[in-house]
Structure 1
Amino acid sequence: MKTLGIRGSVAAAAAAGLLVLTSCGGGEEGPAEGDDAAQDGSLTQVSVGVIPIVDVAPIYLGAQEGIFEEHGLELDLTLAQGGAAIIPAVQSGDFDFGFSNITSLVIGQSQGLPLQLVAPGPQTTGNVGEDFSSLLVPEDSDAESIADLEGQSVAVNTLNNINDTVLKEGLTQAGGDAEAMNLVEVAFPDMGGQLESGNVDAIMAVEPFATLAKDAGAREIYSPYAEPIEDLMIAGYFASTDRIEEDPELVDSFVAAMKESQQYAEDNPEEAKEILPEYSEIDPEIIDSLNMPRFPQEINVESTERIIELSEQTGLIDEVIDVNDLVRDDS
C-alpha cells in the first residue's frame, strides 16, 4: 500500500475539527502525461480542489492505494471550503480538476462558464434514515416531517446549491410551498450550535456533522438526498473545457483513475472510513458511526437532468441547459 504524503499550508481547523486547507500527493513529477507516463515510471502532477467531507474519500483512497500512480499521475490535493472557491480556481488554471455539487455546476454552465463534469462523485445510498445527509430538528420540536417546515427556518451550508434544490423539491412533494421555506446560510460546523440555541428550526447536515448533531440530541425527520430524487448523484469532478480540449489524454487518465478509486471505496467501505483522518480531524470515536455515500463509477445522467429541471423550476437558472453540454462524453 502506498503511503500518502501530506504537504502544503494548513489553516485553522473548524469547530468540528475539519481542515480548511492542506495538500497531499506522492511520487515524482515527470514531463510525460497520463497512462503513457506510467509506462516509463515518470508521473504527471495534477492539482485537484476538493472539500473536507466524506464525499471525497475515494480520491484520497485512490492516492493511498497507488491507483493514480498506475495511471501516471501524482495528485496534488487542496482542500477548500466549497465549490465557490474551487470553480474559479479551475477556470483560472490553478487547479486541473475540481470537486463540486451538481447544482453549482449547472448554474455555472448556465452562466456560460467553460466547465464540464468528467467523473462521478458521491451518490445517495437510497436508504431513508441511513444516508449521509439528514434534515434534523431539535428533539423537542413539533415537526415530524419536512411538510411541517413550511414557513420555518432551515440551515444549509451554502445558498443556491444542491441542498436548496432537494429541500424545495422534498417540500413540494410533501404538498407544501417550497418558497415558504426560509433557507439560512450556516457553515456545517456551526449548524449544531445554531440548532441547539434555537436560531434555526432545522438543519440540513451531511456527515460527519449529521452524526455529531444526532449525538447531541437532534432528530432526523427527512433524508434529503435519499427521498426526493431517485439515485441522486450529489457531486462530481469537473474540468475546464480548455483543459479537456488541450489535454484529453490527461483527462482520460484522471477519469480512469477516479472511476477505479470510486469502485475501490464502494467495495471497501471500512477503508474509505479509515482514510478520513488523512485529510480531516473527524473525531475517531464517531467514524464508525458515519453513514457513507455510495461511490458509483459512472456519472448519473438521469439524476443530473433532474437537477437541471429543478434548477430552472426554482429560478436558479433562467432556462434548462442541455445535459450533454455539462457532462463530458468519454465514450
Structure 2
Amino acid sequence: MRLSPAALAGAAALLLAACASSGTNAPAATSPAETASGVAGQLATVTVGVIPIVDTAPIRLGIEEGIFAEHGLELELTDSGQGGAATIPGVVSGQFQFGFSNTPALISAHSQGLDLPIVAPGAASTGVAGEDTAAIVVPADSDITDPAALAGRTVAVNTMKSVGDSTVRETVAKAGGDPDAVKFVEIAFPDMLAALAEGQVDAAWVVEPFSTLAQGQGNNVLASNYVETSPTLLIAAYFTSATLMKSDPDLVERFSAAMSEAQAFAQEHPDRVRAVLGSYMKIDPAVADKLVLPRFPDTVDRKDVEFLVDFAQRQGITEDTVDPAALLP
C-alpha cells in the first residue's frame, strides 16, 4: 500500500425526476469555502456521488492506495443504486462536489442548461467485440441471430434516453435494422435475467457482472453494443459544477490529478480491481474473476467527446448540438 504524506436546484429536481433516480441519502457536503480553508497539513474532505458498479473500482482503489491522500484529499463516497444520472442533481444542488455518470446523461444535462464539466474519465469500451463490459443477450433458443432482427422485439434496459438504449439503437441501425421499431422496457439489472428467462422480453442489454452471469445461464451474446457504437466509446466520467470550478480550481485540479492516477493504477492492476469489487457490491468471487473489465483511461480524448455529442443528437438524447468545449475543463 502507498503511504500518504503528512438557482440550479430547481433544474436539478426536474432532472432527478426525469431520471427516476432513487439513490441513498448523501452525507452533508463540505462547501467549497470550507474545503479551501482547511488547515495546512490536514486533508480536505471531498464528497463524491458514485454508483456501486465495476466502473467505479478505480476511485475505491485510489482511496485504498492513498492516492487521494497524497493530493491532500479525503473522499466521502455516497453510492446511488439507480444509475449515474442520479448523481447529476446532487452535484448541481451542492449535495456532492463531484459525481460519476454515464456520458450521454451528462450531455443531456448540458443540453438542459446545466454546466457540468468533465474532470476525469471513468470507464470506456474495451473495443473488442464479444469481450466487452456490456452486451445484448438473448436466450440460447432465440430465433434472433442478428441485431437487425431486434426491430419489432422487446429489449430490456435499465433506463431510457441513456447509454443503454441509445447504443442498442445504434447497433440495430448499423446492422441494417429499424431502431425506431425496437420496443424498450425499463427493468433493473438484477431483474433482467429472470425477465429474459420467463419470456417477458426478447433480449436484454446487460453490463458486468450481469453479462457474465447471463452467459453462465446459457444465454448468447448477440452483439457488443458499445463496440458497435465506437471501439473507443467513453462510457462514463467524473464531473463537477462550474460553480466549484470557479470558486475552488485548486480542489478540482487535485481531484482530477488523483483520479487520473487512480485510473492508471486500475488499468495496470486488473487483479486489484477484481479484488476490490466485493468491498462495495454483492458479487461472487468466481464471477469477479471471470467478468470482463472495462478499459480505465486516465485522460479524456476530445475526439471521444465530440463523437458523443454527435451521437447524443443523432439518438435523440439532445435536440440541439452541445458544444464539446463546454464539457471539457
TM class by smaller structure:
0.7 to 0.9
RMSD: 2.1
- Aligned residue in 1 for 2:303: 302
- Aligned residue in 1 for 2:78: 78
- Aligned residue in 2 for 1:130: 131
- Asked whether the 8 Å contact 1:33–1:250 carries over to 2, the reply is yes
Q: Deviations over 1:155-208 (max 9, x none)?
A: 111101011221111111111111111111111111111101100110110001
2:259 pairs with 1:258: yes
- Asked whether the 8 Å contact 1:192–1:213 carries over to 2, the reply is yes
Partner Cα separation in structure 2 for residue 85 and residue 311 of structure 1? 19
Offset at 1:218? 1.2
- Aligned residue in 1 for 2:221: 220
- Aligned residue in 1 for 2:211: 210
Offset at 1:220? 0.3
Residue correspondence of structure 1 range 30-179 to structure 2 within 5 A: 33=36, 40-80=40-80, 81-179=82-180
Partner Cα separation in structure 2 for residue 313 and residue 107 of structure 1? 12
Partner Cα separation in structure 2 for residue 144 and residue 42 of structure 1? 58
Partner Cα separation in structure 2 for residue 136 and residue 260 of structure 1? 34
Q: Deviations over 1:295-329 (max 9, x none)?
A: 0111132222222112212222111111001122x
Q: Which runs of 4+ in 1 moved over 2 A?
A: 20-24, 31-34
Offset at 1:85? 2.1
Residue correspondence of structure 1 range 268-283 to structure 2 within 5 A: 268-283=269-284
SS in structure 2 of the partner of residue 193 of structure 1? helix
Partner Cα separation in structure 1 for residue 60 and residue 25 of structure 2? 12
Offset at 1:135? 0.6
- With structure 2 as the length reference, what TM-score do the two structures score? 0.88
- Aligned residue in 2 for 1:200: 201
- Identity value in percent: 45
Residue correspondence of structure 1 range 237-252 to structure 2 within 5 A: 237-252=238-253
Aligned positions, number: 304
- Asked whether the 8 Å contact 1:22–1:279 carries over to 2, the reply is no
- Structure richer in helix, relative to its length: 2
Partner Cα separation in structure 1 for residue 51 and residue 212 of structure 2? 18
- Structure 1, unaligned runs of 5 or more: 4-19, 25-30
Offset at 1:210? 1.0
In the alignment, residue 108 of structure 1 is paired with which amino acid? A
- Structure 2, unaligned runs of 5 or more: 4-22, 28-33
